[in-house]
Amino acid sequence: MVSRKDFDSPNEPTWCKGCGNYGILNAIKMALAEQGLAPHQVLMVTGIGCGSKIPQYMKVNGFHTIHGRALPVATGARLANHGMKIMCVHGDGDGYGMGLGHMMHAIRRNIGLVDIIQNNRVYGLTKGQYSPTSDVGMRTPTSPEGAIDRAVPPLGLAIAAGATFVARGYPGELPHLAWLIGQALQHDGYALVDVLQPCVTFNRASAYDFYNPRVYRLQETAHDVTNKTAAWEKAYEWGERIPIGIFYRVEGVPTYESQVPTLKAGPLVRQPLQKLRPEQVHALCTELI
């Protein structure tokens, strides 16, 4: 029986007090335990950012990549061993900035992984510059007169690109966020979980006092998660009411890995190595070393 404590690490987080990443960390632990997944069955790939330190704060296989490159590494890991659960955990600057192109390709491939974006709408690690999801007019060290870039609409982009699972969570609703991540882990294909992560230091205008009175659960309404048009409309609802939950979900779309003939024999890491002749080994060494 797997419990949340099985994922505990002796390393203490160094995030600011009140950071939304504490809730995301606990929600991930809860979801993995509820799905019966043990630490050795999960690989967590992260990018650059405050939240990308999560694998250091829990007992799990971790791979720390460079900025914006979490999804390509996670894709490679999934193809090498599709017997493992692969998770990406990175911020909006990492995932929706430099990594946005990789997100589009992960979606069109429908690669089987869970992509958790900690969306605090600011660059927190580098002291508060505006990010791809910051509001127009946001004043920061790099936009003292107010940002003029329009915000990236991640959920709308994902739905338009053909994502088969699109959701949004909020760490102020911890059990609900854990449930969302659990649903994403059950999904067969690419699953985006955008998390409204309060940054209490560099984006106080979009912290708990902003979200608490506004968020509401889609699953407590008549929303149909199989209706793409309805999902699209809800993806752009923002202001006095902000929906959280599963926006869109469709099952039965073939994953990339299910269509690769070599993988039908099982994960590559469990397949026997083909015996190579000495001259073949020499040729490979000459080419690659």
C-alpha to C-alpha distance for 90 and 50, rounded to whole angstroms: 9
Whether 164 and 190 have beta carbons less than 8 Å apart is answered as yes
Cross-sheet strand order for the sheet of 215-217: 61-64, 42-46, 85-91, 114-119, 191-196, 165-169, 242-249, 215-217
- Helix or strand or coil: residue 189? coil
pLDDT at 142: 85
pLDDT at 276: 81
Q: What is the DSSP letter of 270?
A: G
**pTM for the structure as a whole:** 0.92
- Give the residue from 217, 113, 189, 15 showing the smallest Cα distance to 225: 217
C-alpha to C-alpha distance for 7 and 23, rounded to whole angstroms: 15
C-alpha to C-alpha distance for 187 and 193, rounded to whole angstroms: 12
pLDDT at 96: 95
Highest mean pLDDT: which range of 22-26, 201-205, 285-289: 22-26
35 pLDDT exceeds 80? yes
DSSP string, 195-254: EE---TTT-GGGSHHHHTTTEEEGGGTT--TT-HHHHHHHHT--SS-EEEEEEEE---PP
Q: Where are the domains of the chain?
A: 4-288
One-letter amino acid identity for 186? Q
pLDDT band (50, 70, 90) for residue 281: confident
One-letter amino acid identity for 116? I
C-alpha to C-alpha distance for 128 and 122, rounded to whole angstroms: 6
pLDDT band (50, 70, 90) for residue 50: confident
pLDDT at 27: 97
C-alpha to C-alpha distance for 203 and 200, rounded to whole angstroms: 6
274 pLDDT exceeds 80? no
C-alpha to C-alpha distance for 27 and 262, rounded to whole angstroms: 35
C-alpha to C-alpha distance for 109 and 187, rounded to whole angstroms: 15
CATH class of the domain whose range is 4-288: alpha beta
Task: Report, in angstroms and rounded to the nearest whole number, the Rg of the chain calculated over CA atoms.
Answer: 20
Whether 67 and 100 have beta carbons less than 8 Å apart is answered as no
Q: For 92-138, how does the pLDDT look when each residue is reduced to its tens digit (9 = 90+)?
A: 989 999 999 999 999 999 999 999 999 999 888 888 888 899 899 88
